């Protein structure tokens, strides 16, 4: 039962982050509004460093806007980082920083 709740929460987070990113990409939200909306998904560990989180989100959005990262990669990283932050894992910041690194060539 707990697993199902956790899975549902993860899916809800994925959907909501996707909606925010879609509104950013279509011009409904500007970068500041998008960062503010995304920050609401970061509870737990991220609350200890809000300026750092805001900076990391701004960099991720800039990379997305410039086409340096794909929307799906951005979405996945944001969902993973928000989940890690909620579990109070300090590596949430590493997940965001890895998004800005070039994708591995397969």
Cβ-based burial of 59 (10 A; exposed 0-12, middle 13-18, buried ≥19): middle
Mean pLDDT, rounded, of the chain: 89
pLDDT digits (tens, 9 = 90+) for 54-63: 999 999 999 9
**CA dist 4 → 8, 30, 86 (Å):** 6, 35, 17
Alpha carbons 91 and 87: distance in angstroms, whole number = 10
- The pTM of this model reads 0.88
pLDDT digits (tens, 9 = 90+) for 19-65: 999 999 999 999 999 999 999 999 988 989 999 999 999 999 999 99
């Amino acid at each position: 039962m707990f697993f199902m709740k956790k899975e549902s929460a993860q899916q809800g987070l994925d959907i909501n982050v996707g909606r925010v990113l879609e509104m950013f990409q279509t011009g409904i939200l500007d970068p500041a509004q998008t960062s503010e909306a995304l920050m609401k998904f970061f509870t737990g560990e991220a609350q200890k460093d809000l300026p750092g989180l805001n900076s990391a989100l701004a960099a991720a959005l800039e990379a997305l806007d410039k086409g340096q990262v794909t929307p799906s990669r951005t979405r996945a990283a944001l969902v993973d980082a928000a989940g890690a932050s909620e579990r109070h894992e300090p590596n949430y910041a590493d997940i965001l920083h890895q998004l800005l690194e070039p994708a591995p060539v397969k």
